[in-house]
Amino acid sequence: MKFVAPLLLSTVVFSFAALAQRPSDRDLPRIDRSGVHPALIVEGKPFLMLSAQVNNSSAWQGEMPAVWRTLNDLGVNTLEAPVYWETLEPEEGRFDFAQIDMLLREARAHKKHLVLLWFGTWKNGSPGYAPEWVKRDPARFPLSLKADGMPVFSLSPFGTASLAADERAFTTLMRHLKQSDPQHTVLLIQVENETGMWGSMRDHSPAADAVFTQTVPAAVLQSMGKAKTHGNWSEIFGQDAEEFFSAWAIARYVQQVAAAGKAVYGLPMYVNAALRDPIHPGGPGSFESGGPTFDVLTLWHAVAPSLDGIEPDIYLPGYEENMAVLRQYSADGNALFVPEIGNRPEYARYFFAALGHGAFGWSPFGMDATGYVNAPLGAAHIDADALHPFEQNYRVAALFGGQLAAWIREGRVQGIAEDHVRHTEDIVLGNSSWKATVSYGLPSFWTDKPAPGNKVPAGEALIVNLGPDEFLVTGLHCRVDFSSMVQGKQHMWISVEEGDYTQGIWHRTRLWNGDQTDYGLNFFDEPQLLRVRIMSYE
């Protein structure tokens, strides 16, 4: 199966010239909140990150050829790659920047941007990437303790030496980036990775126990709707006390690391979340306590204001769960980005839905040909079949020629994914008198039968509102039709143009009419973008 053609690579939403320039710090990438949705601004314009994250152990020079083979096939414009504390600071106070410099060099050579993931105090709740000198000195860098005094493989958020060491290493990283990346190859920094702890709902060390009995900070009370109350954690929060206490302790720790790093070099920063089930949240032990799960997002925002976003790592394949996560992590002005989503083909159909919720980026995880796969959580093989649905998403995005990010910011974009239960869905199109009906599993010609759904849910659709009677429409494995919401009125196509955008200008390649429009607009596996004008009549 063939993948990215030269035309696609030339149209991907990315300014290659930026990597050869040396802009000033005032031109740093930033999060802009002036629109309906927060946007990532790169070189003064909204930017949509079409990303992929490599496996944890793939960010090494010898693995990069296998990384780029996959990423070039996908058509990404941004690589997410980890930076390891254990290699950055192999001996206390001695720093080795070889891995960071390699990533910068490789990204520039391949005309890609970077998101760097700081694997510091926490990586999936553990200090697995902490240097040996940290791991071998538990007296100085203590682990969290269970209620019975047994240690948990997670550094205590009350470890002052741990915090100081992480902060020093992180600020050193940021200082090096400021000096070595004037081109702004790096767009974002992830601070830690899936913070929290497994095996205990909170740290029971003497330091933690002492704070647990103290009065809950006012900022926490305010953020959790308890501003008029007063008391310690158990008195205020009851059965949730230990989880909320952990969230406060870890968010406070992360805030200090992020704030120190930003003071050196002000790139946008975020944390990623190991999700708690958004519909049927399990009890203690079923999720990573203290991390930015949906029930403590307001707390995290209040305690860690240096973060520009709190982002979901999505490994829940179900439709309802995915939609709930997107709603939760796009609420209250959070700058939504999906830094990890499963790489099984069934996850690809959620791309348009994420954009419809305002996401400025999206990234399937484990996208490299280094030989490792995270099955059964992820795909069993990273081959052409596994990559294809993700590649098609990015090929569709490329047809917009850089315009899509601005429309997302303006709230003009609506996107949906196929539900395995409901095979037809209506979209009310804002600022118009129209609704779109998206159906799955129908033939391209006439039928009087209801939509049966695709045999394997793979459909998705995206609509951009250009005006009261004008829309951009695209989709994969679906049919899109329009109808008037004014009673008694029917719709008529004025024109349906297929084409793409180049430097902000629409280029028509052909007109659709006749069989191609009489039964709705049918999208299958080939990326296509339509510019549609419609009118109503009685």
Asked, as a colleague might, if the bond just before 376 is cis with ω within 30 of 0, I would say: yes
Question: 3-state class of 173 per DSSP?
Answer: helix
Let me know whether 429 and 513 are in one domain.
yes
Residue 167 lies in a domain: yes
Q: Output the pLDDT for position 21.
A: 42
Per DSSP, what are the bridge partners of residue 303? none
Let me know whether 176 and 295 are in one domain.
yes
Q: Which tokens in the block code for residue 114?
A: 């970077």
Let me know whether 483 and 513 are in one domain.
yes
Let me know whether 425 and 385 are in one domain.
no
CB-CB neighbours of 204 under 10 Å: 20
**Dihedral sign computed on CA atoms, order 327, 328, 331, 337:** negative
Integer Cα distance of 533 and 506 in angstroms: 14
What's the pLDDT tens digit per position in 197-223? 999 999 999 999 999 999 999 999 999
User: For each successive 10 residues of the chain (538 residues), what is the average pLDDT?
Assistant: 34 38 70 97 97 97 97 97 98 98 98 98 97 98 98 98 98 98 97 98 98 98 97 97 98 98 98 97 95 98 98 97 98 97 97 98 97 94 95 98 96 97 95 95 91 97 97 98 94 97 96 96 97 95
Q: Output the pLDDT for position 446.
A: 85
What's the pLDDT tens digit per position in 395-414? 999 999 999 999 999 999 99
Q: Output the pLDDT for position 476.
A: 98
Task: Count how many domains the chain has.
Answer: 2
Let me know whether 386 and 435 are in one domain.
no
Q: Output the pLDDT for position 266.
A: 97
> Cβ distance 302 to 235 under 8 Å?
no
- From 400, 431, 448, the end of a domain falls on 400
Q: Output the pLDDT for position 395.
A: 97
Q: Output the pLDDT for position 8.
A: 35
What's the pLDDT tens digit per position in 376-400? 999 999 999 999 999 999 999 999 9
Let me know whether 327 and 357 are in one domain.
yes
Integer Cα distance of 122 and 138 in angstroms: 15
3-state secondary structure 251-298: HHHHHHHHHHHHHHCCCCEEEEEECCCCCCCCCCCCCCECCCCHHHHH
Q: Identify the CATH number of the domain in which residue 443 sits.
A: 2.60.220.20
Let me know whether 238 and 372 are in one domain.
yes
Q: Output the pLDDT for position 412.
A: 97
Q: Output the pLDDT for position 14.
A: 37
3-state secondary structure 220-254: HHHHCCCCCCCCEHHHHHHHHHHHHHHHHHHHHHH
Let me know whether 379 and 427 are in one domain.
no
Let me know whether 282 and 344 are in one domain.
yes
Let me know whether 119 and 183 are in one domain.
yes
Task: Report the amino acid identity of residue 141.
Answer: F
Domain that holds residue 490: 417-537
What letters, b where the CB count within 10 A reaches 16 and e where it falls short, cover 387-415? bbbbbbbbbbbbbbbbbbbbbbbeebbbb
Let me know whether 389 and 421 are in one domain.
no
Q: Output the pLDDT for position 24.
A: 56
Q: What is the spatial order of strands in the sheet that 39-42 belongs to?
A: 30-32, 39-42, 45-46
Residue 120 lies in a domain: yes
